[in-house]
Amino acid sequence: MDAKDSEFLKRLRATFRIEAQEHVRAISSGLIELEKSPTTERRAELIEAVFREAHSLKGAARSVNLKDIESVCQPLEGAFAKLKRREIVLSPALCDLFHEAVDNIRQLISAADAERSSSDRTRTRELIRQLGKVSQDASPPGKTEEDAPVSEAAPIEITPAATPRMEDTALHSPPESQPPLLTETVRIPTAKLDPLLLQAEELIQANMAAGQRLIEWREFNQELVLWKMESTKWKDRQSTMGASALREFLDFHEARLNALQSRVAAVAETSKQDQRAIRRLVDDHLEAMKQVLMLPVASLVEGFPKLVRDLAHDQGKEVDLVMRGAEIEIDKRILEELKDPLIHLIRNCVDHGIQKPGERARRNKPPRGTIRLTFGARNGRQVEILVSDDGTGIDANQVRAAAIKTGIVSPETAGKLDPQTILSLIFQSGITTSPIITDISGRGLGLAIVREKTEKLGGDVSVDSRINVGTTVRLILPLTLATFRGVLVRADGQVFILPTINVERVLRVSPGEIKTVENRETLQLDGHILSAVRLGDALGLPVRNNGAAEALVPAATASHIPVVVLAAADKRVAFLVDEVLDELQVLVKGLGKQLRRVPNIAGATVLGTGQVVPVLNVPDLMKSAVRTAGTVRTGATKKTSERTASILVAEDSITSRTLIKNILETAGYRVATAVDGVDAFTQVRSGEFDMVVSDVDMPRMSGFELTAKIRADKKLGELPVALVTALESREDRERGIEVGANAYIVKSSFDQSNLLEVIRRLI
């Protein structure tokens, strides 16, 4: 290997170490939690997570030619595949073996470029042998993981003594001899740093202006104090004042008032200019920082040609990788998340797509297959990534059969799906058309990771394939995560934020422009027919206009209807709203671990007024729109006791409290809130409520204790109580029943329609 190639490999391995440590930490954390005997559902999640981390680490090690790490990860992944299928039992001895494997991988990562001792090599070989035995053997027939908790003995013989622990090997490889892990760095051109310096200098002026405004407001306050003192003196003299004195008094006040009014107006105008300058400075600074974090795609894909070459060589195939658009700059954080999905897609192209030379010749194709990796900018805000091959294509019938076999769809449902919908099932975990599991693919995992990562970044993924022609996977992603701008809209009395990056157009249309085509409400724009869907309908919100509106018209007296056209990948939908309020830059907050997945909601933001507003998840919203497209609202909305029912919401998290409050108020209920159980019990004793919706884990008094106190109170004993909580274990559910709760809703699977249905049944 020449000096240039050696330096290139060194750079790749430095990047690999950082990534690998993250995978190792995730695997180790998952193993530790598995040993704590979690619930069956949580145990399945952990096994799936460790399985995926081992799979990704194996692929990353392969790309930098670290065979030892890859050799340990391969049987480790296989063992977790067995656990996932419940073909082996997770026992203490097996957990010890997994931990030993993780310790060994960690040491291999740290000493990737160092010479290893014979004892270290022996230890690795023994670990691979033990893990291989686990991944190849299975539990006795009829024995499942649920039958044997972690405390039972393993059905597979394991001899941990042959695989010494990390502390035992420390004598052979002291920490001082191991190369330190490199800290994460990024090269920044000076041209990108110059604007940051200039903006920092402008901040000095902004700070001086703010200080001057503070001085002026203090002077105003002092002026008012003096005015008040003078007014007191005149008041004391009012009994002796004549007409001339009274006139002098009024002239004095008028002069003071006019002077103060002029000064306040001047400062208000200056403050307005200051605010504009600061807003411009903030926007420029964020834009400059965004540019600092932008890196060319080439920094991500520079190792892909070698990856394709090695994969093709191992399988006796001839493959060329053609890349276009690698000069496009993308946010560094997006590039980091893209690495795993792109590696999975390229592996699939080599393993599943491209045929061997002989097979290609029989199909009148050149012996060398071609994989194309193309990056292109869209609208200056998004990047389109195409990963395509000229291979065998995807057989929709095989995908349908695999989906039925894994239970993802029933045979009846699968028979009704069109070919494109069938193809989209390849992104489901466990779906594979490979007849055999190999060290590269065939586990039905890679494409699920692709979709998961893409949607996490706010993007979309789709696939197009033709038999014997080839397959193309398209990813649409934002160029940057540095800033977030949103369009503030109102729908059915509720305020929402729509990401500006997905807003293609905002306009107003007349009710007559909304046409019914094939039982769906549509709108024609620029020669294209778009589905027209009320935003409130897509979100499952009830109508709040007393039924006077017709069809999709948001307001009874509206001569024109505000419309927001959203675009995601190739999908475009026209959402009808009550009002488009503003476009603004917002800071998005997650909903926290208690609300890990709320349909149609990506997070929340706090406006300048202090109001908490949901930020909508556009991919989810598009799916909801498909389900509700064409819904026509007619007739009067029934006014029932639901509209006047009063509900107390007890929740210590302000985000969760605000979200639940908004959902219930939008549904027409009167809602009061409490910050914990003590506050809730005080309110429920002094007020009149039709129901209590409470969290469980709260300070001072938990939801369990609150429910028990309500049931023990003669006046409140029959009051319905619904617990909405993150605690999902069987023991917690039984505790909820014991204290007398009428409903127990787990936040991890929270759906606002479920909550509203529970309330309708209980009130």
Is a pLDDT exceeding 80 seen at residue 643?
no
Q: Pick the more confident residue, 238 or 418.
A: 418
CB 532 within 8 A of CB 521: yes
- The mean per-residue pLDDT over the stretch 392-396 comes to 88
Q: Read off the pLDDT band of 303 (50, 70, 90).
A: confident
pLDDT of residue 236: 67
Q: Distance between CA 330 and CA 337 in Å, rounded?
A: 11
Between 262-271, 684-693, 740-749, the lowest mean confidence (pLDDT) is in: 740-749
Q: Give yes or no for residue 112 having a pLDDT over 70.
A: no
Tally Cβ neighbours within 10 Å of residue 170.
11
pLDDT tens digits along 447-481: 778 887 887 777 888 899 999 899 999 998 888 76
Q: What are 199's two structure tokens? A: 């903006």
Per cent of the chain over pLDDT 70 is 78
pLDDT at 414: 78
How far is it, in rounded angstroms, from Cα 247 to Cα 746?
73
Q: What confidence tier does 565 reach under pLDDT thresholds 50, 70, 90?
A: very high
pLDDT digits (tens, 9 = 90+) for 319-372: 888 889 988 888 887 888 888 889 889 988 998 889 999 999 999 999 999 999
In this predicted structure, which of 73-82, 538-547, 563-572 has the lowest mean pLDDT? 538-547
DSSP 444: S
Q: Are strands 369-378 and 382-389 parallel, antiparallel or unpaired?
A: antiparallel
What does DSSP assign to residue 181? P
Residue from 466, 317, 320, 319 nearest 393 by CA? 466
Between the ranges 139-153, 162-176, 416-430, where is the mean pLDDT highest?
416-430
Which of 41-45, 151-155, 363-367 shows the lowest per-residue confidence on average (mean pLDDT)? 151-155
Residues 155-181: tens digit of each pLDDT: 444 444 333 333 333 333 333 333 333
pLDDT of residue 724: 85
Sign of the Cα torsion 344, 346, 347, 353 reads positive
Phi-psi map region of 592: left, alpha, beta (phi>0 left; psi -120 to 50 alpha): left
Nearest Cα neighbor of 660 from 650, 763, 542 is 650
Indicate if the pLDDT at residue 512 is higher than 80. no
Number of neighbouring beta carbons within 10 Å of residue 329: 19
Q: What are phi and psi of 461, to 5 degrees?
A: -135, 140
Instruction: Give the pLDDT confidence of 228-259 residue by residue, as tens digits.
Output: 777 777 666 666 666 667 777 777 778 878 88
Q: Residues near 123 by Cβ (< 8 Å), separated by ≥ 6?
A: 104, 163, 164, 169
Residue ranges in 190-328 assigned as alpha helix (H): 190-236, 243-292, 298-301, 304-314
Specify whether the CB–CB gap between 488 and 586 falls below 8 A: no
Q: Please give the structure tokens belonging to residue 60.
A: 């990353």
Measure the CA–CA gap between 71 and 54, rounded to whole angstroms: 11
88: which DSSP letter? S
Q: What is the pLDDT of residues 500-509, one digit of tens each?
A: 878 888 999 8
- For 246, what's the count of Cα atoms within 13 Å in the CB-facing half-sphere? 6
- Confidence class for position 440, pLDDT limits 50, 70, 90: very low
pLDDT, position 632: 41
pTM reported for the whole predicted model = 0.46
Instruction: Check residue 450 and give its pLDDT.
Output: 85
CA distance 267 to 215: 11
Phi, psi torsion values for 63, nearest 5 degrees: -65, -20
pLDDT at 279 (0 to 100)? 75
Note the pLDDT of residue 390: 93
Q: What is the pLDDT of residue 431?
A: 67
Q: Is the model more confident about 572 or about 495?
A: 495
Provide CB contacts within 8 A for 411, sequence distance 6+: 404
Cβ(491)–Cβ(540) below 8 Å: no
Per-residue pLDDT band at 577 (split at 50, 70, 90): very high
Confidence of residue 109 (pLDDT cuts 50, 70, 90): confident
Least confident of 95-99, 112-116, 424-428, 615-619: 112-116
Residues 498, 489 contacting (CB under 8 angstroms): yes
Both tokens assigned to 650: 């007890």
